[in-house]
Structure 1
Amino acid sequence: MDATDHGRPAKERSMKIAIQFNGQTVEARPGTTILKLLETYPHPGKSAPLGAIVNNRLMGLYRVLRSDCTVQTIDYRSKEGANIYRRSLTMILCAAFSDLFPEVRLEIGQSLANGYYYHVTHGPALTETMLAAVEARMREIIAANRPLRPVLVTTEEAEEYFAKIGSEAKAMLLHQRRQPEVPWVVIGEFRDLVHGPLAPSTGVCQTFAILPKLPGFVLTFPDRIGRVLVALPSQPKLYAAYRDTRMWNEQLGIWSVGHLNRACIDGTISEIVKVSEGLQEKKIVAIADRIKAAGGEIRVVLVAGPSSSGKTTTTKRLAVQLMVNGIRPVALSMDNYYIDRADTPRNPDGSYNFESLEALDLDLFNSHLHDILEGKLVQMPMYDFVSGARRKDKTIPIQLQRDQVLIVEGIHGINPRLTEAAPAKAKFKLYVSALTQLCLDEHNRIFTSDARLLRRIVRDRLYRGYSAAQTIHQWPHVRAGENKHIFPYQEEADVLFDTSLVYEQAVLKPYLQRFLLEVDQRDPAYIEAYRLFNFLSWFIPIFSHEVPHTSILREFIGGSTFNY
C-alpha cells in the first residue's frame, strides 16, 4: 500500500485521478499531495519548487489532490513564487524574534529596496547586535528545514491564542471572521496565521539579508537571479512619505484591517472617512502654499506618478487651492503629445508600450513648453484615441499670463528629458502614488501595487470598456514600464504625495467582487483574480455614499464633482 493510502476508504484507494502535471499526464490516487508527486516527477529547472498553480489557483505544495486537475509547479522566477518565498521568509523572521526576544512586538511596514521594513512597537529598542543575532537564528531555522505545513484550527482557538500573546490586530481580525476554521503554521513555539501559500519547508529560503535602518530594519529578498542588496539605497523622500502615512493612520487609530473593520461595526467609519479626506486636503493646501511662497518663480507644475495613483484628481484639487491663493492654473495634457499609434514602441509580446517615454513627441512638447514659458501663443494638438493620431482639424490655443502657472500631468512628469526646455527653478515637481500603509495584521502587509491595481480594475470596468481579466493581463506591462520609466525618478520630486486612503479597499470591495467574478476560471488572469478575491474577504464593505464627491476615490468609482 502506498504511504498516501493510510486512513482512506478502500473504494477511494482503488480509484485513480488524471493529473496534467507540468505538461505530462500522470495518474495518482485521490488524496495525493503535490509534494508527494514531486518525488516521482521533479520540478523542471534548477530552482526549488515553492508552490503550484492548480486549475488556475495558487496553492501550496501540501495541497491534497482529490480529482482530475492541471498542476504547474512554480519557483522563485515567477511573481507568485516570489510572493510565496517572501511570505515564508517573513514567517521565519517572526519566529526568530519570538525565540530570542519574546518581549519585542514586531510590526511590518512598507516595501523598501526589494524588501520589507520592520519596526518595534513594544520592548527594547533594536540594536545591530540584536539584528545580527536574529539573522543567525533565522539561518538555524532554515538549516533545520522545518516543515511549513498549514494546520486548520478553530477560529476561536486562534483568536484566544493571539489575544493572550498581545497580538491585537490578529485577534481583532479573527473576531470579525465568520469562517469556523483558519489555517496557521507552527515553527517551534511560534504560531502565525497563513494569508497565502507557503514554501514546503524553511530550508528553501536560503537567500536574504537583514539591513539595519534604525530604529527599524529591512528584510531584503533576492532578485530573480538570486542577488540580495548589501546596502540600502538612499530614498529619504519615499521613506518620509511612507512614515507620514503611517503616522496619519496611527492618528486615526486605523493601521490594520481589523481596526478598519471595527470602525465599520461600531459606526465611527463616517468620521474616519472625513478625517482621512481632511488630512489629504491639508497636504494639498500645503503644496499650493509652497508654490505661492515661491513668489512667481514657479511657472510649471509637473504632476507625475504611476498608473491609477490619482494624478488627475490630485491635479484638479491642487488647481482649486492654487486659485484660492490667487494663482490661475492652465492645464496642459500630455495625452495630446502621443505620437501616432503606428509609430508607438511595442512590448516584447507585440502590444503597444504607452508607458514608454518614446511614446511621446518630446521634441514638439519641449518646443511648445519653451514658447509657453516665454509668453508666446501655442497651438496644442488634440490627440484622437480612436484613430490613434492627432486631429488635423482642431488645436487648443495656450498662452500663459503672468498670474498663471502651467500644470502638466503625466506619468513621465519628473523625467528630466520631458522638460529639458524649462529652467530648473521654474519647475515644481510633484510625485503622486498610492503608498498604502494599512496592514492585514502585525506581520502581513498589503502589497503597495495592489492598491493601484484594484483602483484600475474598477475604473477600467466602469468607464473604459475593459474587463477585469483584460486589466489584469495588461498590468505586468504597466508595472514593467513603471519600473523603467517612473520609479527611478521619484526621489527627484519636490514633494511625494501619497493618495492612498485608509478606507479605500472597503469601498472598492463590492465593485471588485462583482468584476473579479466575471473572470473565467480558464483564463490565466484567474490566478490573480482568485488571489485578490480572497484578499478582499477580510474587509467589511463601506457604502460608496460615505465617499465625498471631491475624493480621489471618485476618479475610479464615479460620482465626482470634477470632470474627467
Structure 2
Amino acid sequence: MDCQIKYSLLDTVLKEQKNHKNLITAVKINNVLRDVQTQVTPEDKVEFIDMTTEDGVQAYQRSILFIMMAAVNILYPDKEVVVEHSVNNGIYCELLPKGDLTLEMVGKIQEKMFEFVSKAKDIKKCILPREDAVALFRESQQIAKSKLLESLKQDYVSLYYCAGYYDYLYGPMLYNTSLLDKFAIDFYEPGLIVRTPLISNPNVIPPKMKQKKLSIILSEADRWSYILKCNYVTNLNEYIHSNKISELIRISEALHEKKIAQIADHIVESIEDLRLILIAGPSSSGKTTFAQRLRIQLLVNGINPLSISLDDYFLDRDKTPKTPEGQYDFESINALDLPLFNKHMMALLKGESVELPVYNFTTGYREWKNHVVKLEPNQPIIIEGIHGLNDELTRDIPSHVKYKIYVSALTQLAIDAHNRIPTTAARIIRRIVRDNQFRGAHALKTIKQWPDVRKGEDKNIFPFQENADVMFNSALIYELGILKKYAKPLLEKITPDLPEYNISKRLIDFLDYFEDISNDDDVPNNSILREFIGKSCFF
C-alpha cells in the first residue's frame, strides 16, 4: 500500500528537544494540535507540546496504547483490543473475545512492547485516500472504524503504521518507539490496565491505585451500553438513521430513573440513621437535576428532604482565602464557614430550630432573613456542593448519619474499539452549552476557564470520590447527538488566531462524528440533559 510519509518537523523537534527538559510529544501549528510528522511552511506558527500539558500526556498515552495493539496483533492475532475507560491511574482495556486473558499473556504483551522500544521502530504517519483506509479496516474486521471513516466528509485520512500494524487514532502520536519506555501494564481481570505518566509527574510511571467504587460504576456503564446495543458512535448514528432514536432516549432515561429510585430506596431503608445526604461531583455532571430527582423519589416514599445550599455558608468576602495569584479562591473548602455549618447541621439533626444564613453574592456578605427551619422526624437534609465527599466539611457530624453520593458523567459511548471518549470532552461540551443558554457566556470564555475548573476538580473532588457510598453516572448515551446542534455554532465563533482555537477545532471535529438528533422533544423535561439545553421542569 502506497504511503506518503512526512517528517518535515522532525529535525526541528530533535534540535529543540536538546534544550527541552520534558519530552516533546506533539506540536501546535497555527493553534491546531498536530504530530511532529506534519509538514509546515516558514510562515506557520509552531509551538512545541511536551509532557507538562494535557495534550502532551495524551499523545504519549495514545502512542503507548498503539504499540500495545501492535504487540497484541503479533502475539495474539485472533484477539481485538478494546480500550474501555480511565481508572486506577491508568487506562483499562480488554481483549476480545474475553475470558481467557492471563497474567502470563499480559507479561508477554509488555515484553513485546519493550522489545519495540529497544529496537527504536519508527511510527510512520501515512496519508491514504479515505476509500483505501475504509477497505483496510474492513479487511481487518474493524467494522466500527471502517463505518466511521466511511461517514467522514474528507477525501484523505491519516493512519499510523508500526511493526506491520495500521491504525486510525484520533490525535497525534510520537514518531519512534524508543521514546515510549515509561509505561507499566497490570493484569486486572478480566482485562488489563496501562499506566503512563501524568502531568503532575511527567517523567514517572504513576503507582498502582485501587478505585473499587469507580470501577463498579464504570462496569455498570458498560452494561448499560450493552443493554442499549450502543457501544460506538456508529451504533448511535444507526439509531438516528433508522428513526429509532426516540426509543433509545426513553430507555436511557429509564435507566437513570431506575438507578435514582434504587438510591432513594436504600436511603429510605436506613432513614433512621441516614440523615445527611451529601451530593458532589465535577463540573457539568448534572448534580442539581440529580438532587431534584432524588428528592422526588424520596417524596414517593413519604420522605420530604430539606435542601440546604452550601453557597450560603461562604465566609464574608474579606475573610475569603486567595489563590497565589491573588484571586478569591471560592473553590477552597476554607472559603466556607465550617464551624458554623457543622454547628447548624448538628443542631438540626438534634431536632432544634435553626436560622439559616443567606449569602449575598453582590455584597460578598452573609445576611440573616429569618429563614428558620426545623427537621421533622426522619426528615433528611440534602446538601449539594463540590466538597460533599470531603470529611472535613462535616467533621463534627458522626459518619453513620452521612450518605455520600458521587455524580459524574462517565461516558458509556466510544468512538470505536480503540478510541474512547474522555469524560472531560462530554463535560466541557455540556458546560459550553449551559453557560451560553443560562449565563450568556461565549464558548471562548468557557474554554478559557476550563483549565482552572479542572485544577479545582483535581484538588477538591477527585481525591475524595472513593469516599462515596454510591456513585451515579449522569451520562446519557444519546446526549452528544443532541448537544451537537447547540455546541457547534458556538465553537465555530472561535477564530484561528486565538489560543483556544485548538480546543474548539478538536471539539468540532469530534462532534462531526455524530449525526444530529434534530428534534429534542423526546428528551423529557426532568432529564439531566435539560439542565444544559433548557426547558427543565426544575429550573
SS at match of 1:336: helix
In the alignment, the residues of structure 2 paired with residue 181 and residue 225 of structure 1 have an alpha-carbon distance, to the nearest angstrom, of: 34
Match of 2:501 in 1: 526
1:256-405 equivalences in 2 (<5 Å): 256-391=232-367, 394-405=369-380
Contact 2:405 2:470 in 1 (8 A): yes
Aligned partner of 1:77 among 52, 55, 67: 52
Contact 1:299 1:404 in 2 (8 A): yes
1:58-73 equivalences in 2 (<5 Å): 58-66=33-41, 68-73=43-48
In the alignment, the residues of structure 2 paired with residue 260 and residue 349 of structure 1 have an alpha-carbon distance, to the nearest angstrom, of: 45
| 1:52-94, Cα deviation, whole Å (9 max, x unpaired) | 1222111111111135122111211221111111111111111
Per-residue deviation at 1:420?
A: 2.3
Aligned partner of 2:191 among 213, 216, 220: 216
Q: Which amino acid aligns with 1:498?
A: N
Match of 2:463 in 1: 488
SS at match of 1:353: coil
Q: Which amino acid aligns with 1:348?
A: P
| 1:416-472, Cα deviation, whole Å (9 max, x unpaired) | 111123222222111111111211111111112222221111111221233222222
Given the alignment of the two structures, is residue 409 of structure 1 paired with residue 371 of structure 2, yes or no? no
SS at match of 1:50: strand
In the alignment, the residues of structure 1 paired with residue 133 and residue 82 of structure 2 have an alpha-carbon distance, to the nearest angstrom, of: 19
Match of 1:556 in 2: 532
In the alignment, the residues of structure 1 paired with residue 346 and residue 14 of structure 2 have an alpha-carbon distance, to the nearest angstrom, of: 67
Given the alignment of the two structures, is residue 250 of structure 1 paired with residue 226 of structure 2, yes or no? yes
Contact 2:89 2:209 in 1 (8 A): no
In the alignment, the residues of structure 1 paired with residue 444 and residue 62 of structure 2 have an alpha-carbon distance, to the nearest angstrom, of: 25
Per-residue deviation at 1:116?
A: 0.5
Contact 1:52 1:74 in 2 (8 A): yes
Deviates more, 1:37-46 or 1:446-455: 37-46
Per-residue deviation at 1:415?
A: 1.0
Per-residue deviation at 1:241?
A: 0.3
SS at match of 1:435: coil
Contact 1:147 1:202 in 2 (8 A): yes
1:70-109 equivalences in 2 (<5 Å): 70-109=45-84
Q: Which amino acid aligns with 1:265?
A: H
Q: Which amino acid aligns with 1:247?
A: R
In the alignment, the residues of structure 2 paired with residue 318 and residue 402 of structure 1 have an alpha-carbon distance, to the nearest angstrom, of: 19
Deviates more, 1:308-317 or 1:456-465: 456-465
SS at match of 1:396: strand
Q: Which amino acid aligns with 2:221?
A: T
Per-residue deviation at 1:146?
A: 2.5
In the alignment, the residues of structure 1 paired with residue 243 and residue 96 of structure 2 have an alpha-carbon distance, to the nearest angstrom, of: 28
Given the alignment of the two structures, is residue 153 of structure 1 paired with residue 113 of structure 2, yes or no? no
Residues 59 and 461 of structure 1, relative CA distance in 2, 3 Å threshold: same
Q: Which runs of 4+ in 1 moved over 4 A?
A: 39-43
Given the alignment of the two structures, is residue 165 of structure 1 paired with residue 140 of structure 2, yes or no? yes
In the alignment, the residues of structure 2 paired with residue 41 and residue 161 of structure 1 have an alpha-carbon distance, to the nearest angstrom, of: 36
In the alignment, the residues of structure 2 paired with residue 136 and residue 243 of structure 1 have an alpha-carbon distance, to the nearest angstrom, of: 28
SS at match of 1:84: helix
SS at match of 1:65: coil
Per-residue deviation at 1:320?
A: 0.4
Per-residue deviation at 1:40?
A: 5.4
SS at match of 2:24: coil
5+ long unaligned stretches in structure 2: none
Contact 1:211 1:217 in 2 (8 A): yes
Given the alignment of the two structures, is residue 45 of structure 1 paired with residue 20 of structure 2, yes or no? yes
Per-residue deviation at 1:403?
A: 4.3
% identical equivalent positions: 38
Aligned partner of 1:139 among 66, 91, 114: 114
In the alignment, the residues of structure 1 paired with residue 319 and residue 70 of structure 2 have an alpha-carbon distance, to the nearest angstrom, of: 54
In the alignment, the residues of structure 2 paired with residue 122 and residue 493 of structure 1 have an alpha-carbon distance, to the nearest angstrom, of: 33
Per-residue deviation at 1:525?
A: 2.0
Q: Which amino acid aligns with 1:251?
A: I
In the alignment, the residues of structure 2 paired with residue 500 and residue 422 of structure 1 have an alpha-carbon distance, to the nearest angstrom, of: 32
In the alignment, the residues of structure 2 paired with residue 43 and residue 461 of structure 1 have an alpha-carbon distance, to the nearest angstrom, of: 44
Contact 2:99 2:190 in 1 (8 A): no
SS at match of 2:57: helix
Match of 1:239 in 2: 215
Q: Which amino acid aligns with 1:198?
A: M
Per-residue deviation at 1:291?
A: 1.0
SS at match of 1:150: strand
5+ long unaligned stretches in structure 1: 1-6, 8-30
Per-residue deviation at 1:351?
A: 3.3
Across the aligned residues of Structure 1 and Structure 2, the Cα RMSD in angstroms comes to 1.9
SS at match of 1:417: coil
In the alignment, the residues of structure 2 paired with residue 88 and residue 386 of structure 1 have an alpha-carbon distance, to the nearest angstrom, of: 49
Contact 2:342 2:395 in 1 (8 A): yes
Match of 2:177 in 1: 202
Deviates more, 1:139-148 or 1:248-257: 139-148
Residues 395 and 333 of structure 1, relative CA distance in 2, 3 Å threshold: farther
Deviates more, 1:188-197 or 1:161-170: 161-170
In the alignment, the residues of structure 1 paired with residue 504 and residue 147 of structure 2 have an alpha-carbon distance, to the nearest angstrom, of: 26
Contact 2:283 2:453 in 1 (8 A): yes
| 1:145-167, Cα deviation, whole Å (9 max, x unpaired) | 22323212222222222222222
Question: Aligned residue pairs: how many?
Answer: 532
Per-residue deviation at 1:168?
A: 2.4
Given the alignment of the two structures, is residue 419 of structure 1 paired with residue 394 of structure 2, yes or no? yes
Per-residue deviation at 1:131?
A: 0.7
Given the alignment of the two structures, is residue 227 of structure 1 paired with residue 204 of structure 2, yes or no? yes
Contact 2:320 2:329 in 1 (8 A): yes
Contact 1:56 1:521 in 2 (8 A): yes
In the alignment, the residues of structure 2 paired with residue 339 and residue 172 of structure 1 have an alpha-carbon distance, to the nearest angstrom, of: 55
Residues 75 and 431 of structure 1, relative CA distance in 2, 3 Å threshold: same
Residues 403 and 48 of structure 1, relative CA distance in 2, 3 Å threshold: closer
TM-score of the superposition, structure 2-length normalised?
Answer: 0.94
| 1:178-208, Cα deviation, whole Å (9 max, x unpaired) | 3222211111221111311111222211100
